[in-house]
Amino acid sequence: MELCEIKIVDLNHSRIDEKKSNPAEGEYEFIEKVYVDYRDKGRRPKWWFTTVRYDPVNNYREYREWKYQRKATFLKKGDGYWPETMSPDAEGKYQMGDAVFVKIPLEQILKERDDQRRYTQTGRTYLNKFNAEMAAQGADIPESMIQELMGNRGRK
């Protein structure tokens, strides 16, 4: 199973058959299984869940960067969320190969997206103003060139 295919189960809102489950081994029998759903305000977690590279060969560089830049921490057994089909390791984290599941404060992710939106709008506004000035002088810039100048920022 690919990491991108693994769904996160919200154990806080799911109902588990305690007799048939062994959470320490990542084995659950559900009476009612509820997945993380950001659209439902009542069940929306305060975390964004994803994976990040976690490799001792490079001294866990990617994880450390995410930890300090994005406030990422390990998703661990007992957090109330479970990457479906996975068992926690001896330290309680969920790792597959050289990737580990992390949780990032949802507020941090929303701030990053808002910053990116503003960054894109600022660049687009500047280019539109520049293009208007050039057009006034008879040398307007084709939209394809604006897209090229904007790179990924100009895509809607």
What pTM value is reported for the model?
Answer: 0.71
Kindly give the pairing relationship between strand 15-16 and strand 81-83: unpaired
Q: What pLDDT score does 23 carry?
A: 85
Q: What is the dihedral of CA 61, 119, 39, 15, to 10 degrees?
A: 10
User: Helix or strand or coil: residue 98?
Assistant: coil
Q: What pLDDT score does 84 carry?
A: 92
CA distance to 42, 88, 93, 121, 144, per residue, from 62 (Å): 33, 21, 16, 29, 35
Tell me 27's DSSP state: B
Question: What percent of the chain has pLDDT above 70?
Answer: 82
Every domain of the chain and the residues it spans: 3-106, 110-154
Provide mean pLDDT across the span 143-155: 64
What is the average pLDDT score of the chain?
84
CA 115 to chain CA centroid, Å, is: 15
pLDDT digit string, tens, across residues 92-131? 999 998 999 999 999 888 787 777 777 666 666 767 777 6
Task: Please determine, for residue 90, whether its predicted confidence score (pLDDT) is greater than 80.
Answer: yes
Angstrom distance (rounded) from CA 73 to CA 136: 53
